[in-house]
Each structure stands twice: as C-alpha cells, then as structure tokens.
Amino acid sequence: MRTRVKLGVAVAAGLLLAGGQAMAKEYKVGVLLPFSGVYAGLGSHIENGFKLGLEHYGADLGENSVTIVRSDTEAKPAASLAKAKKMVLQDKVDVLMGVVSSAVLGGMRDFVHNSGTPLIVANAGNDHMTGEKCSPNIIRVSFSNSQINRPVGTWLANQGVKSAYLMAPDYAAGHQMMEAFKSTFTAAGGKIVGEAYPPLKGTKDYGPYITAAKAAQPDAIYTFFAGGAAITFVKQYHDFGVKKDIPLYGAGFLTSAAYVHVQGEAADGTVAALHYVPAIDTPENKKFQDAYQAAHGKTGSEFAVAGYDAAHLIVQAIKQADGDEEAFKAALSKVQFNGPRGPLRIDPATNNVVQNIYLFKNEFKDGKVVQTILDTIPDVQDAPNGCSM
C-alpha cells in the first residue's frame, strides 16, 4: 500500500530549480511494523503517531514531499527481512522507519548496514544494534532495552527492595531487559532469587510461572511483557492474588497507556519505568495528546510517541538536507528537539537516543487507571558498549 502524505508540492525528481538551488525531492519512507501477530496493536499506535508527526512538523517542507510505503512485519524476522529488501531494492525507499521486535531488528541489521538506506528504529530496543553491532545506518529514536531497565535496578534497591524474581519472554528483548536490571540491582546490594523466561508466542497460562515466583519468596517481581502478553500476564498476576505479598514492577510496557485501560483493576499498584508516560506535564506533550486523542479517541502511548518523534526527526533532516541525499542521511543522526517525552537527542557515538526515564505508578481509581510519575532520571545515555561507527 502506498500513501501519499500531502506535504508541500512534489515535482519531478532530478529537477534543478532556477538559480541552481537545491532539488525538490520526494522522500519515500518504508514503514515496517507489525500489524498482525503478537505485537499487532503496537504497530498501529506507531503508525498513527508517525502520521500525526508528519502533520505537525511536515507542513512547511516547501518543494519537498513525503510518501509512505507500508508493510506488515508480523513480528517475524525472516518475513521482515524480505520486506525490508523489497522496500529498499524494488520500491527504492529513501529511509526505513519502524520495527517493534528486537529479534526482527537483529535479523535485518546486516542488510540495513550494507544497503546504505537508513533505518529509524521506532521501537525495538535490541542493545547490540547501538552497541557492538551499531551502524551509521541504524538510528534509534525509541529506547534501548538496557537504557530503560538499568536505572530501575538502582532505584528499586534504594526503595529498600532486597530481593527480586525476574520474568520476561524468552527472546532478545526479554533477556537484555532483565540483564540490565540485574546488573544495577545486584551492584546496589539486591539479590536475584530466581528467573523465568516463558515463550514469547503462545504462552496463554502464566500460572505455573507465577507459582514458581511465589515459592521463591522475593520482595518484588520484576518483569518485561508487552502487547497481548502484558495484558494476559498482569490480569493473571492479579487473579492469583500474589500482588499484596510480592509487588509487581517492570519495564513500563507492562502497563502501557496503549492497553492499561484493558488491564483495569489488575494494573493497580504496579510500578514501572519508561521513556514516556502520558502524565508528563509539558506544552509539547499536551499538543501531542490533544491532537492524538482528537484523532483516535484514545490516549497516545509510548509507541505512538516513538512514531511521532520519528516523523519529527525525518522532517528535521529533510529541512536541513535541502534535497541532498547524502546531507539527508548525515542529518538524521544529528537531530535534537523537545518532544512529548521531554528533551531528546541522538548520541553520535552510538546513534541511540538520549532521554529521561520516568518511574510511574498505576492506581485504579473511580473505575479507571491513573498513572502518576514518581521520579525522573534525566538524560539517560548508554555507554558505547563496543560501538565504533
């Protein structure tokens, strides 16, 4: 499917404007997101945010224009790689945008690295892609898995939590997030008393895992689940009645604004960390939330914000490049601005985003979940972790 986004007037590529000015250019963006499979809902949030970002920031592109080509990754690495190849080689996109799963990002890394076509990652947190497997072509506007979870280990230990049980899906993101939490929690004196990694796809019953966690008698359980798995896990943890003895913590996708209303009372009391929470009180966030809610009738989530900021980043680079392909690519990793999540910049050492991480709690009040920010860890930046550009 191809969507023409009306942003300025497109003229034939290659046309040199009078007076030797830069050429007008049609920028083709290849949107690669899961619209089916385990992370289906997340893809539509990112796409909605991306389109809103183009509307808000791309209105004054002058002679340049943006066109979207979209494809369903199904959150499957092999299918996603084939679709990325088609977009680059056949559709000749100027830039790829999207990717939700760390496994999908890992699977397309070498192709993107060698293709010369930049990829703006709008979710997948795979640490290696901005670490030892970093690439000038991979620019991440969302988060890295360790960036979100590292600050929580220290924070939780400082709250007096002495032991934790870990649980996350059995794939790259699940393991990386738990490892990051573990490293700072144990460095601050905390103890890991057990861990479990249920399959990402097809786990319907977390009962046996929750029973094992309870038997280990930790002070807290620390988790990462997202999408449908997060809804199921949070509901089952609530139904098992364990939360009063073992409070539930996690990477904040666990109770994302995308689906916390579905979890409802089951989310009550859960404390989590994320790079974006709708409660952020800034003019940029208000503008985003007002427009997103007017367009879609629901709260804009961290997924929608990543799409929105990806559009902002691409538009800024288009403006700076003034029609020049190489200048466009170079500008993508030099962008910085205040978005709905707060200040954001791309780290030139890794191409990962530098941003605040917010600790927040969920409370079920008057029939709905209220999310309140407890703490802000400013300007969280990853070490290069083996990245040399």
With CA atoms as reference, report the closest residue to 382 among 186, 169, 180, 225: 180
124 sits near ligand PHB (criterion: CB under 6 A): yes
Locate 277 and state its tokens: 């929470």
- Minimum CB distance to ligand PHB, residue 115 (Å): 21
Interface residue with ligand PHB, options 101, 137, 289, 355 (CB under 6 A): 101
Determine the Cα–Cα distance for residues 124 and 300; give it in Å rounded to an integer: 18
The 328-347 contact track toward ligand PHB, x by CB under 6 A, reads --------------------
217-256 residues in contact with ligand PHB (CB under 6 A) are 226, 253
16 with 80: CB under 8 angstroms? no
Place of tokens 């449908």: 228
- Minimum CB distance to ligand PHB, residue 316 (Å): 25
- Minimum CB distance to ligand PHB, residue 136 (Å): 21
Among the residue ranges 99-107, 312-320, 324-332, 343-351, the one whose residues contact ligand PHB (CB under 6 A): 99-107
- Minimum CB distance to ligand PHB, residue 177 (Å): 8
Place of tokens 């930790």: 218
Among the residue ranges 100-108, 237-245, 331-339, 350-358, the one whose residues contact ligand PHB (CB under 6 A): 100-108
- Minimum CB distance to ligand PHB, residue 39 (Å): 6
- Is 59 strand, coil or helix? coil
Locate 96 and state its tokens: 């790829």
Among the residue ranges 76-84, 95-103, 346-354, 361-369, the one whose residues contact ligand PHB (CB under 6 A): 95-103
Q: Are strands 342-346 and 353-365 parallel, antiparallel or unpaired?
A: antiparallel
Give the nearer residue to ligand PHB in terms of CB position, either 125 or 131.
125
With CA atoms as reference, report the closest residue to 349 among 37, 182, 134: 134
100 sits near ligand PHB (criterion: CB under 6 A): yes
The β-bridge partners of 4 are 67
Among the residue ranges 119-127, 322-330, 357-365, 370-378, the one whose residues contact ligand PHB (CB under 6 A): 119-127
The 25-64 contact track toward ligand PHB, x by CB under 6 A, reads --------------x-------------------------
Determine the Cα–Cα distance for residues 298 and 296; give it in Å rounded to an integer: 5
With CA atoms as reference, report the closest residue to 183 among 213, 152, 204, 217: 152
316 with 337: CB under 8 angstroms? yes
- Minimum CB distance to ligand PHB, residue 37 (Å): 12
Among the residue ranges 3-11, 120-128, 263-271, 377-385, the one whose residues contact ligand PHB (CB under 6 A): 120-128
Interface residue with ligand PHB, options 119, 156, 161, 173 (CB under 6 A): 173
With CA atoms as reference, report the closest residue to 202 among 248, 223, 171: 171
Handedness of CA 214, 126, 313, 5 (dihedral sign): negative
Give the nearer residue to ligand PHB in terms of CB position, either 53 or 227.
227
The β-bridge partners of 21 are 17
Residue type at 294 in one-letter notation = A
Give the nearer residue to ligand PHB in terms of CB position, either 77 or 118.
77
Contacts of 187 (CB under 8 A, 6+ apart): 153, 154
263 sits near ligand PHB (criterion: CB under 6 A): no
Contacts with ligand PHB by CB under 6 A lie at 39, 100-102, 123-126, 173, 226, 253
